[in-house]
Amino acid sequence: MEDRIERRDQEWRKELRLKTKGRERTAIQRAEMPMMDPLERVHYQDREVNIGLDLNTAGQEATRCMDCVNPECVTGCPVNIDIPSFIKNIERGEILKAAGVLRETSALPAVCGRVCPQEKQCEAHCFYLNKLKKPAVAIGYLERFAADYEREHGVAEVPEIKKNGIKVAVIGSGPSSLSFAGSMIKKGYDVTVFEALHEIGGVLKYGIPEFRLPNNIVNSELENLKKLGVKFEKDFLVGRTSSFEDLKEEGYKGFFVASGAGLPSFMHIPGENFNGIMSSNEYLTRVNLMNAAKDEFDTPVFKGKRVVVVGGGNTAMDSVRTSKRLGADKSMIVYRRSMNEMPARLEEVKHAQDEGIEFNTLTNPVEYFADEKGHVSRVRVQKMELGKADASGRRRPVPIEGSEYDIDTDMVVVAVGVSPNPLVPSVLPNLKVSKRGTIEVNEETMQSSIPELFAGGDIVRGGATVILAMGDGRRAANGMDQYLTEKYGK
């Protein structure tokens, strides 16, 4: 069956290639992502907004790629995917080969094709954008297409792996850990991932709503890792369930820590402890991982009718769009800078606008007020103006004196940042950490001050995109492989 599909696709692609030579490639318009209607999708927490490209559209988009001699798009990818190769395979109709190219360097192509900010990474380096001043090739859409096609029409190849018998432990099961595990298992190591929660996937499960990243997509990628031989232990808190010394006694020779940044940050303004005010971490975890939005489950979440979400990143967009799906009459973003400085992906902002989210920009909370029961009832905000650029490169928000006003609300979600999980540093006194609580590592190898311990993702960066975290995992795998080879041989 798969052979017939491949032959049919190759014939179709050959015909299209004959029609698209030379300048005709550059005349093709960039593909648009089909999506659910906004008025319909706001009723579903577990239905993906983006629908995905069909075969014809993906093939046509792939023909736009100029197959540059020096593909800058690859340098813009934190895991160095061979982008021209996988796209040209799509153009030839060899979709399963395209997926195989992706898996050579990426453990999670179906995930990255959905949530990675390609517009700031690979696509930002595209020939079209930088030389022709036209929209970049839709690399992210094509990555998603190839990975989804493989899942629906084929089986991910399981390469033959020569085992070396050396055990390594991975702490946390987010994108950095999964990238590391995928790389190390292919190098022949015996890899076990330890996850503190009852679900594998880390932030991919608890932090990103299913309307943006469905759980079945994450589960499929996890199954591919299991087929390679990666083992997973749930409900296992390294440093509490077992110590690092316990694991060493069990034979583990190397450790990769990617325990994330799950400690929420607040603004420390008056009234922040009133009922109805929570962090985005708690809100999204309750809804995404603990089924709190479903009445048949015992873990409740307050379903506000006038919801204020403080912040302008992807987590803020996820939170405010979730509140809309939980039945809010009014879901509002309060952000202290302008739309131009907003760190969230443009696609996520556009989706939020289409869904009726209200944006209060250049606005900052200064105090909360509660009703007689101690539940938040309004937030006092102050208008801001932009001054000179700060350390982030964005213009600093400056308060406008006398501009305060109140917004009625019955629920506030604070999404202004997170801090690193402090558990691992707290049980390893010889581990060097920064003032922010992040683990200090060699940027090339990701090795820490404890030679056998490597780290990556949010516990190192303080906050990272999925693909940057995956890049850390891949570098750490190369670094640990070199270290363990020199120490133990293979």
Q: Which tokens sit at 49?
A: 């907004």
Cα 136–174–296 angle (5° rounding)? 105
Domain co-membership, 9 together with 144: yes
CATH of the domain at 67: 1.10.1060.10
Q: Specify the DSSP class assigned to residue 216.
A: H
The Cα 73–Cα 64 span in angstroms is 14
Residue 484 amino acid letter: L
Q: Specify the DSSP class assigned to residue 340.
A: G
Report if residue 172 sits inside a domain.
Answer: yes
What are the angstrom distances between the C-alpha of 207 and each of 204, 280, 319, 409? Answer: 6, 9, 9, 24
Contacts of 393 (CB under 8 A, 6+ apart): none
Report if residue 60 sits inside a domain.
Answer: yes
Taking the CA atoms of 461, 464, 466 and 468 in sequence, report the sign of the dihedral they define: negative
Report if residue 159 sits inside a domain.
Answer: no
Q: Give the residue carrying structure tokens 């927490």.
A: 45
Nearest to 174 by CA among 212, 218, 140, 144: 218
What per-residue string of b and e applies to 11-36 under the rule 16 or more CB within 10 Å gives b?
A: eebeebbeebeeeebeeeeebeeeeb
Q: Specify the DSSP class assigned to residue 275.
A: B
CATH of the domain at 314: 3.50.50.60
Report if residue 162 sits inside a domain.
Answer: no
Query: What range defines the domain where residue 78 resides?
Result: 2-38+46-153
For 301-326, give the DSSP string: ----SEEEEE--SHHHHHHHHHHHHT
Domain co-membership, 408 together with 434: no
Domain co-membership, 32 together with 6: yes
Q: Provide the CB-side half-sphere exposure for 239 (13 A, CA).
A: 17
Report if residue 363 sits inside a domain.
Answer: yes
Residue 243 amino acid letter: S
Domain co-membership, 224 together with 174: yes
Q: Give the residue carrying structure tokens 């989804």.
A: 148
Ramachandran area for residue 418 (φ above 0: left; ψ -120 to 50: alpha; else beta): beta
Report if residue 158 sits inside a domain.
Answer: no
Contacts of 350 (CB under 8 A, 6+ apart): none
**133 touches 161 (CB < 8 A):** no
- Give me the sheet containing 167-171, strands edge to edge: 231-233, 190-194, 167-171, 252-257, 453-455
Number of domains, the chain = 3
Strand, helix or coil for residue 161? coil
Domain co-membership, 301 together with 382: yes
Q: Specify the DSSP class assigned to residue 362.
A: S
Strand, helix or coil for residue 408? strand
Report if residue 269 sits inside a domain.
Answer: yes
Taking the CA atoms of 268, 313, 47 and 221 in sequence, report the sign of the dihedral they define: negative
For 76-142, give the DSSP string: TSTT---HHHHHHHHHTT-HHHHHHHHHHH-S-HHHHHHHS-GGGTTGGG-HIIIII-SPPP-HHHH
Choose one of 417, 438, 459: the last residue of a domain: 417
- Rounded to 10 degrees, what is the CA torsion of 390, 392, 394, 396? -40
Domain co-membership, 401 together with 431: no
Domain co-membership, 343 together with 255: no
Neighbours of 249 (CB within 10 A): 10
Per-residue pLDDT of the chain (490 residues), as tens digits, is: 455 555 555 554 555 554 555 568 889 999 999 999 999 999 999 999 999 999 999 999 999 999 999 999 999 999 999 999 999 999 999 999 999 999 999 999 999 999 999 999 999 999 999 999 999 999 999 999 999 999 998 776 778 899 999 999 999 999 999 999 999 999 999 999 999 999 999 999 999 999 999 999 999 999 999 999 999 999 999 999 999 999 999 999 999 999 998 889 999 999 999 999 999 999 999 999 998 888 888 888 999 999 999 999 999 999 999 999 999 999 999 999 999 999 999 999 999 999 999 999 999 999 999 999 999 999 999 999 999 988 878 899 999 999 999 999 999 999 999 999 899 999 999 999 999 999 999 999 999 999 999 999 999 999 888 999 999 999 999 999 999 999 998 6
Q: What is the pLDDT of residue 300?
A: 87
Report if residue 112 sits inside a domain.
Answer: yes
Domain co-membership, 141 together with 183: no
The Cα 354–Cα 45 span in angstroms is 16
Domain co-membership, 381 together with 324: yes
Rg (CA), the chain: 24
Domain co-membership, 407 together with 433: no
Domain co-membership, 404 together with 469: no
Domain co-membership, 379 together with 279: yes
Choose one of 363, 388, 417: the last residue of a domain: 417
Contacts of 480 (CB under 8 A, 6+ apart): 168, 184, 254, 256, 445, 446, 447, 454
Choose one of 417, 435, 465: the last residue of a domain: 417
Q: What is the pLDDT of residue 18?
A: 47
